[in-house]
Amino acid sequence: NAGVTQTPKFQVLKTGQSMTLQCAQDMNHNSMYWYRQDPGMGLRLIYYSASEGTTDKGEVPNGYNVSRLNKREFSLRLESAAPSQTSVYFCASSEASQGTYEQYFGPGTRLTVT
């Protein structure tokens, strides 16, 4: 199994450009998440989707939109990129199994906005 995959791995954008980060999981999980990781800040939740067809804001949703395309795929869109969105973005998925909700992470997308 591939687990959680993310594309692209690296991206450089100019201020004002838009892009979509793609995430897919093959574990049949209901819940999916987008995080950003910045030095000294830890991982902060941007948006999450508890199940297909639903999305909710996390701690830092401003400047982002998401789409839960189907059970497998959860995309993150930056409509007008800003230098403050330079970060490493991680997608994760989880599922209740015997009462647990263990999270599995993708390899990350390293985004630089100039």
Which residues form the interface with another protein (CB under 8 A)? Answer: 31, 33, 35, 40-45, 48, 50, 56, 58, 90, 92, 94, 99-108
Tell the smallest beta-carbon distance from residue 66 to another protein (Å). 14
Residue number, 17 or 71, with CB nearest to another protein: 71
**Mapped to the 3 state alphabet, what secondary structure does the chain carry?**
CCCEEEECCEEEECCCCCEEEEEEECCCCCEEEEEEEECCCEEEEEEEECCCCCCEECCCCCCEEEEECCCCEEEEEECCCCHHHCEEEEEEEEEEECCEEEEEECCCEEEEEC
Tell the smallest beta-carbon distance from residue 71 to another protein (Å). 17
Residue number, 69 or 96, with CB nearest to another protein: 96
Tell the smallest beta-carbon distance from residue 80 to another protein (Å). 26
Residue number, 19 or 45, with CB nearest to another protein: 45
Tell the smallest beta-carbon distance from residue 68 to another protein (Å). 14
Pairing state of beta strands 109-113 and 10-13?
Answer: parallel
